[in-house]
A and B are shown apart, each in its own frame.
Chain A
Amino acid sequence: MDTRRAFLRSLCFGRADDSAALVVVFLRGGADGLNLVVPEFEPEYRRLRPTLAVGKTLPLDERFGLHPGLEPIRPLFQDRRLAVVHAVGSDDDTRSHFEAQDLMERAGRPLEGASGGWLARHLRSKPGARGAIAAVAIGPTLPESLRGAPSACALESLEEVALPQASPAFTGALEVLYRAEGSGAGAAGQAALRLLERVNLAKEAKAPEGYPESGFGRSLREVARLLRADVGLEAACVDLGGWDTHFAQGPLFTSLVEDLAGGLAAFAKNLGPRMEKTLVVVMTEFGRRAYENATLGTDHGRGSVMFLLGGPTRGGRVVTRWPGLGEGALEGPGDLAVTIDYRDVLAEALEKAAGNPRTAEVFPSFNPTPRGLFA
């Protein structure tokens, strides 16, 4: 009896191991890493950006300072729960959003054995059974990274996970039918019924507070509710769009930064000790040009930043192989070069935090370099 229950539990709630759930925040549009985490030590920075340089930053270490809008997450850095990776990005130098996002979210090609998205391959290759909702995207559709993922769904809110028209007799009968089913569908059906029970409990609990009143804030709140409901969620995708700041970057950028930081801080606070079993990865398809353009904005560039928050992150550090902003150091038309591949970060996150030793199946054509990001 106990073993059967344990078996079902592992099916329903997944993550019977200790691995962390991954929450991937994608900053769509190409976020300006140089103004998110400013290289204060870099004399070229203020020269290249006479109007757009961030006035007064919040020091992280002797070299880098945070955009003041990121103030809410600075304590997380000081508590060593948040790490920054700088001059990170893709080895592909397309500066097209569509292509760059696709490439990054697929992180490989079908010919190399990498069909679908990287998170989907992670979920497929990770040992152990999957729950009914192993992965969610908060939004209308699944992102590329989750293409082909088992047990993935797109949701706007937790309220959608329900059988509003079913009587108790109906769910009782489903229970009987799916318990008797021997195939993988039987386990999946029972897991789905457990999921509905769990979600019902979560709905009754008081909705968490403190999130920004924005789409991003609401999305993170829904992810937190699912994580707190213990439904076996292993990966969640949340988008924050609008980073394509070609024109009048200043005010636009600041409100995005505030939204980002407010959401992340509320999420960490809301999850509390659960953050030890949750890793938030913030990424973007590319950074922006080192110098500002004529319309007080920045054009598509290359290297940007990633944030890692929670789980076994060795926080309180800006991890970088700084390429420099000087003459000859910039890449192409004048971009911060990429010196750490984003897959180095993701592969290490999967292996050290998300409990997947089979990263070669997730990134089959890529040989990641460990960057010592996690304990």
Chain B
Amino acid sequence: MSLSRRSFVAGSAAAAALGGCDQGYSLLSKRLSGGVPASFARPDGASVDPDFFLLQRTSFGPAPGDLDRLRRAGRAAWLEEQLHPERIDDAACQVLVRRFESLHFSPGALFEFKREVAEDELGRATLLRAVHSRRQLYEVLVSFWTDHLNVFQGKGDCAWYKTAEDRDVVRAHALGKFRDLVRASALSPAMLVYLDGRSNRKGKPNENYARELLELHTLGVHGGYTQQDVMEVARCLTGWDIQEGWGRGKVVFDPDRHDDGEKSVLGTRIPAGGGKEDLERVLDLVCRHPSTARHVAGKLCRRFVADEPPAALVDRVAARFSATNGDLRETVRETLRDLEPGPLRFKRPFHFMVSALRGLACDTQGKRSLRRFLERMGQAPFQYPTPDGYPEDPEPWYGTLVWRWNFALALARGEAPDARPGLRDLAPEAVFAHLAGRSPSEEERGALASASSREEAVALALSSPAFQWY
């Protein structure tokens, strides 16, 4: 999709006329979403409610009314709907996000924007979608693949190209075919810059991308490839470049820079003279490799099921991945099919923050002032420099508790910049149940009662160990 700036401005004039500013968009969004329901279901058992658990795992945390929606539809139908985000009306979220011009621009045209503007708009859109979208499973998967195919905005032109990559790679294929996803990533200007694919050329191979393709994106570190495979894959991928000057941002193949000799990848001969088709051969080999099925299945199971998922489940999901030729919708469906409450996972800072904003039905514009909390906690979007993506295990994040408590206090007291809670009158114990998916224990009840105000009790619920897990 490519737009000129002028036609975009004309097109969005109507929306702007409704308010012309953040407040206007926010009002319109609330009208479209129906706002905070007057009453909504809250779990009341002593342990985490199974429906709540499903919601927790497939979203960035339940907002008021989500549990009712899931129960009305039934678990299976609800999950099916989430697996088809295009069937979910998301106008309330789109009103908030679509107005960011840069999101609609082609890679080359993105340079019309100042670096800070491009980075800020994508950062805002990312937070706003996570908070406001009803396509929550899709947003969770977008975040999953964003880490899997990590691109660091801080490296050179990635500040601009990441915007196009987010749209054309991750969002375009998050529930599509794995091979399409990896191919789009391989040929995205963002990845060609980030992992130096553009400087990989005949006679002067750069192995950076080839290595991460095998190690992180497909087979996995113990997936059974060798250093020789890395070098051969790098040779196959020589010649891809990004146009500069006229036509800037366009990805092109230069046969003169391509190493057209014979290669051998993972034991398969790739004959000389393949040209740009070498890339397709490599993608076929790595995407169909059984190690890739296991690697992707293992990561999905860790994200959605448990830090240490049952081996039988990983096998089953890997088999589904292979049988469907890497159909991600089918693979995710298999992962979630029999999801039952099990060991909880520690929320990463982004998840923590978004779940708090959703839980309290906050009105936010996703501005930098709010995202600074994420920077402080070390998980601002697209700011992870190494290709392995933000870590999934809990230990690296335990040290962020003090900052979580500060955010909870500011948010509950209505003092957080750019975030006002819409859920205002509910009693602390009810807020706790809504946030944690179960009624508070004796100790938790005592702790909530000891707070010096309702706001502080709500902050306590957000700060409690219970809310750090999902």
Residues of A within 8 A of B (CB): 102, 106, 109-111, 113, 115-116, 124, 130, 132-134, 140-142, 144, 147-154, 161, 163-167, 169-170, 172-174, 176-178, 180-181, 183-186, 188-189, 192, 195-196
- Chain A residues near B441 (CB, 8 Å)? 180
Distance in Å from the Cβ of B381 to the closest Cβ of chain A?
14
Q: Which stretch in B98-106, B235-243, B319-327, B391-399 binds the other chain?
A: B391-399
Distance in Å from the Cβ of B223 to the closest Cβ of chain A?
11
Distance in Å from the Cβ of A164 to the closest Cβ of chain B?
8
Most chain B C-beta atoms within 10 Å of own C-beta, residue among A110, A132, A172, A195:
A110
Contact A185 B394 (CB under 8 A): yes
Task: Please tell me which one of the listed residues B384, B388, B399, B444 contacts residue A133 in the complex, with CB atoms under 8 A apart.
Answer: B399
- Mark interface residues in B215-226 (1 if CB within 8 Å of A CB, else 0): 110000100000
- Report how far A188 CA is from B403 CA in the complex, Å: 13
Contact A173 B465 (CB under 8 A): no
- Report how far A77 CA is from B441 CA in the complex, Å: 60
Task: Please tell me which one of the listed residues B398, B402, B409 contacts residue A170 in the complex, with CB atoms under 8 A apart.
Answer: B409
Contact A172 B399 (CB under 8 A): no
B221 nearest in chain A by CB position: A111
Most chain A C-beta atoms within 10 Å of own C-beta, residue among B212, B215, B385, B448:
B385
User: Is there a chain A Cβ closer than 8 Å to B419's Cβ?
Assistant: no
- Chain B residues near A169 (CB, 8 Å)? 450-452, 456
Task: Please tell me which one of the listed residues A113, A144, A188 contacts residue B398 in the complex, with CB atoms under 8 A apart.
Answer: A188
- Report how far A189 CA is from B466 CA in the complex, Å: 12
Contact B398 A166 (CB under 8 A): no
Please judge, given known A-B contacts A110-B221, A173-B448, A195-B402, whether A165 and B410 are in contact too, CB under 8 Å: yes
- Chain B residues near A154 (CB, 8 Å)? 376, 378
Most chain A C-beta atoms within 10 Å of own C-beta, residue among B211, B394, B405:
B405
- Mark interface residues in B322-338 (1 if CB within 8 Å of A CB, else 0): 00000000000000000
Query: How many interface residues does chain B have, given as a range?
Result: 35 or more
Total A-B residue contacts, Cβ distance less than 8 Å: 133
Contact B215 A176 (CB under 8 A): no
Most chain A C-beta atoms within 10 Å of own C-beta, residue among B212, B391, B395, B403:
B395
Task: Please tell me which one of the listed residues A106, A148, A166 contacts residue B396 in the complex, with CB atoms under 8 A apart.
Answer: A148
Contact B398 A141 (CB under 8 A): no
Contact B464 A177 (CB under 8 A): yes
User: Is there a chain A Cβ closer than 8 Å to B446's Cβ?
Assistant: yes
- Report how far A174 CA is from B409 CA in the complex, Å: 12
Please judge, given known A-B contacts A110-B388, A134-B399, A151-B398, whether A142 and B378 are in contact too, CB under 8 Å: yes
Contact B395 A106 (CB under 8 A): no
Please judge, given known A-B contacts A161-B402, A170-B409, whether A110 and B215 are in contact too, CB under 8 Å: yes
- Report how far A148 CA is from B387 CA in the complex, Å: 12
Contact B396 A149 (CB under 8 A): yes
Contact B443 A185 (CB under 8 A): no
Please judge, given known A-B contacts A148-B396, A173-B450, whether A165 and B406 are in contact too, CB under 8 Å: yes
- Chain A residues near B444 (CB, 8 Å)? 177
- Chain A residues near B468 (CB, 8 Å)? 185
Contact B447 A176 (CB under 8 A): yes
B402 nearest in chain A by CB position: A192
- Report how far A102 CA is from B384 CA in the complex, Å: 13
Distance in Å from the Cβ of B358 to the closest Cβ of chain A?
21
Contact A163 B405 (CB under 8 A): yes
Besides A152-B399, A165-B406, A184-B395, 18 more A-B contacts (Cβ < 8 Å) are A109-B211, A115-B386, A133-B399, A147-B386, A150-B396, A165-B410, A165-B413, A166-B456, A167-B452, A170-B409, A170-B456, A176-B446, A177-B447, A180-B465, A184-B394, A185-B346, A185-B398, A192-B399
User: Is there a chain A Cβ closer than 8 Å to B463's Cβ?
Assistant: yes
List residues 410-456 of chain B with CB under 8 A from any CB of chain A.
Answer: 410, 413, 415, 441, 443-444, 446-448, 450-452, 456
Task: Please tell me which one of the listed residues B386, B446, B463, B469 contacts residue A116 in the complex, with CB atoms under 8 A apart.
Answer: B386
Distance in Å from the Cβ of A199 to the closest Cβ of chain B?
10
Most chain B C-beta atoms within 10 Å of own C-beta, residue among A109, A141, A188:
A188
Contact B465 A170 (CB under 8 A): no
Task: Please tell me which one of the listed residues B386, B402, B413 contacts residue A196 in the complex, with CB atoms under 8 A apart.
Answer: B402
User: Is there a chain A Cβ closer than 8 Å to B459's Cβ?
Assistant: yes
Contact A192 B401 (CB under 8 A): yes
A111 nearest in chain B by CB position: B215
For this complex, 28 residue pairs linking A to B, each with C-beta atoms less than 8 Å apart, are A106-B386, A110-B216, A111-B211, A111-B215, A111-B221, A116-B386, A130-B399, A133-B399, A141-B375, A144-B385, A148-B396, A150-B398, A153-B376, A153-B400, A153-B403, A154-B376, A163-B406, A164-B406, A167-B451, A170-B451, A172-B450, A173-B447, A173-B451, A177-B447, A177-B464, A183-B465, A185-B465, A185-B469
